[in-house]
């Protein structure tokens, strides 16, 4: 290797590579022009501690930020509302600290305040989802404590079912929305006590409970199927939840109407296989229907009958 090549490598390593990294950084900032403004809030809300000015001294002390007021910055920018500035939803008055206590009375916008009748998001059917939600048991809870935001964290929610190809990651993400309250000890408002063991204990009739929780979403059993929406939102009374195994372990598995509804319909029809859609990610006993296997089966049966027939005829003739 000659000296010029070494020089070239050195030049690339020292200048071009870092320049490329900076360029990427800039591209990211371009995508999120809100980053700079949000940093004013996130320097406190994105950290475990925040600087509190001490009266009249010009000094600051570090105080602990309550867990509930902390925001995961990375998740924020990955979310569907990652292009928002904090003050798009919150009062501009929050830019001063200490915050005015009256701001707590501020009414937060609901999903429909922005998305009602918006043609850009027509495919999600917000109105139908809203209707469904109103029928669910959760809607009877105090509305200041429970709303769409209780599952759709305003600072991190992102669509998963339309974007995640990996079903286990999707199941984990969607179930985390429920488990956040149903097993979470740091959410005392709703903590029903006991951790995952408790929720498993409530489902003892279901064999391999934790395995099921890793492979199907809570809403598969707890929400009523509605063909108009991709994600059913009517969480029915616990007595009406799915308990019959064949609802999933059958050829017309309800999973096809919910969890796997978005998977290519074509793949299902041509392969005629529930498990072909699920392929590589799990196997639902009883949900098989392979058209090819069916045909091979029929051919085998016919061959067997023919074989026996020919064999018998020959024996009769020879006798
Ligand atoms: C100097 C640190 C600091 C900055 C900067 C800051 N906050 Fe806060 N914020 C806090 C602390 C501490 C609390 C909890 C105590 C309180 O409510 O005052 C809080 C509470 C809040 C709350 C919850 C109030 C409630 O109902 O409990 C909201 C919403 C909020 N901040 C939004 C913002 C927004 C938006 C910005 C940026 C425009 C911002 N904050 C900037 C420290 C800060
Ligand atoms: C899409 C609208 C939206 C955006 C953007 C938004 N928030 Fe919020 N925020 C909300 C809603 C709604 C609540 C009340 C949540 C609830 O009722 O469960 C909330 C609550 C809060 C709270 C109180 C703690 C909590 O989770 O209840 C803080 C603190 C807060 N937001 C800070 C911020 C900061 C800082 C930003 C910017 C980085 C921001 N928010 C951006 C909608 C938003
Ligand atoms: C303050 C207005 C506002 C509120 C409140 C709001 N959204 Fe949005 N939402 C928007 C805007 C604007 C966009 C487009 C953002 C973009 O493209 O960067 C969006 C994007 C989305 C998207 C992605 C759409 C797509 O096709 O990319 C989804 C899903 C969504 N919002 C769901 C919700 C849900 C669920 C709620 C309530 C829990 C909610 N939004 C509350 C304004 C809002
Ligand atoms: C009990 C929890 C819960 C509540 C409450 C809830 N949602 Fe959802 N929502 C979910 C889950 C889980 C998903 C699936 C997210 C994913 O995987 O993309 C979802 C998805 C959505 C989607 C995207 C659907 C699609 O076709 O991709 C929209 C829009 C939506 N919810 C709107 C709302 C609105 C509006 C409300 C309040 C009226 C609400 N949600 C309340 C759990 C909830
Ligand atoms: C914000 C917290 C919270 C979230 C998130 C949440 N729940 Fe709940 N859920 C509750 C509370 C509170 C109750 C009422 C408990 C009671 O009355 O004992 C409840 C009740 C229920 C019940 C019993 C309903 C009945 O009427 O018999 C079911 C089933 C349930 N939730 C399932 C779910 C599922 C599935 C999800 C996720 C899609 C979810 N929950 C998300 C707080 C939550
Ligand atoms: C295979 C279907 C199925 C799945 C998956 C499932 N559940 Fe259930 N769940 C049920 C049935 C059925 C009941 C009613 C049990 C009974 O009658 O004893 C129930 C009961 C409950 C209750 C009420 C418990 C009580 O007695 O108060 C809650 C809360 C609950 N489930 C939450 C969840 C959560 C959270 C998940 C996801 C991690 C989940 N479930 C997954 C079928 C299911
Ligand atoms: C909501 C749909 C659903 C319901 C209801 C359901 N299952 Fe399953 N079950 C699944 C899925 C999906 C898998 C695949 C898990 C995997 O890939 O390992 C599975 C796997 C299993 C397995 C294999 C577990 C393993 O570790 O290999 C058994 C056994 C099973 N289910 C029994 C039952 C019985 C018994 C019932 C009724 C009491 C039932 N299931 C109800 C969806 C369901």
Distance (Å, rounded) from C-alpha 152 to C-alpha 131? 17
DSSP structure string for 79-100: STTTT--HHHHS-GGGGSSSPP
Contact assessment for residue 234 and residue 136, using Cβ atoms and an 8 Å cutoff? yes
Host H or E run for residue 31: helix 17-31
Q: What is the pLDDT of residue 84?
A: 95
Q: pLDDT tens-digit profile of 87-107?
A: 999 999 999 988 999 999 988
pTM of the predicted model, to two decimals?
A: 0.86
Q: What is the pLDDT of residue 195?
A: 63
DSSP structure string for 281-297: S---TT----HHHHHHH
Distance (Å, rounded) from C-alpha 212 to C-alpha 193? 21
Q: Is the CB of 203 under 6 A from ligand 6?
A: yes
3-state secondary structure of 311: helix
Q: Which of 47, 69, 90, 149 to mutate to test the pocket of ligand 1 (most atoms within 8 A of CB)?
A: 69
Q: Which two tokens stand for residue 208?
A: 């391999």
Q: What is the pLDDT of residue 290?
A: 62
Measured from the Cβ of residue 301, the count of other Cβ atoms closer than 10 Å reads 10
**Position in ligand 3 atom list of the atom nearest CA 88:** 1
Q: pLDDT tens-digit profile of 155-180?
A: 999 999 888 778 888 899 999 999 88
Q: What is the pLDDT of residue 279?
A: 44
Q: Is the CB of 32 under 6 A from ligand 1?
A: no
Break the chain down into helix, strand, coil percent, rounded to 5.
55, 5, 40
Spans of the chain below 70 pLDDT: 1-30, 184-195, 262-291
């Amino acid at each position: 290797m000659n000296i010029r090549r070494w020089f070239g490598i050195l030049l690339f390593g020292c200048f071009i590579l870092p320049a490329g990294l900076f360029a990427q950084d800039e591209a990211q900032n371009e995508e999120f022009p809100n980053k700079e403004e949000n940093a004013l809030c996130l320097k406190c809300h994105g950290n475990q501690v925040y600087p509190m000015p001490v009266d009249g001294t010009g000094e600051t002390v570090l105080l602990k930020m309550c867990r509930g007021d902390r925001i995961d910055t990375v998740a924020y920018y990955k979310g569907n509302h990652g292009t928002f500035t904090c003050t798009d939803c919150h009062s501009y008055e929050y830019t001063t600290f200490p915050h005015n206590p009256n701001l707590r009375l501020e009414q937060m916008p609901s999903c429909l305040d922005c998305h009602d009748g918006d043609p850009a998001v027509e495919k999600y059917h917000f109105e139908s989802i809203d209707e469904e939600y109103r029928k669910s048991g959760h809607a009877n809870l105090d509305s200041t404590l429970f709303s769409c935001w209780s599952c759709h964290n305003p600072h991190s929610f992102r669509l998963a079912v339309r974007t995640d190809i990996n079903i286990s990651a999707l199941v984990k993400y969607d179930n985390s929305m429920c488990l956040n309250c149903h097993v979470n000890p740091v959410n005392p408002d709703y903590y029903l006590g006991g951790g995952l063991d408790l929720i498993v204990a409530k489902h003892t009739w279901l064999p391999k409970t934790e395995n099921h929780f890793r492979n199907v979403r809570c809403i598969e059993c707890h929400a009523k199927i509605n063909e108009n929406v991709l994600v059913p939102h009517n969480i029915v009374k616990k007595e009406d939840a799915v308990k019959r195994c064949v609802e999933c372990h059958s050829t017309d598995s309800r999973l096809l109407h919910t969890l796997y509804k978005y998977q290519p319909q074509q793949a299902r029809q041509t392969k005629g296989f529930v498990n072909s859609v699920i392929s590589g990610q799990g196997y639902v006993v009883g949900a098989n229907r392979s058209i090819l296997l069916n045909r091979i089966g029929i051919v085998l049966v016919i061959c067997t009958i023919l074989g026996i027939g020919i064999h018998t005829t020959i024996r009769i003739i020879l006798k």
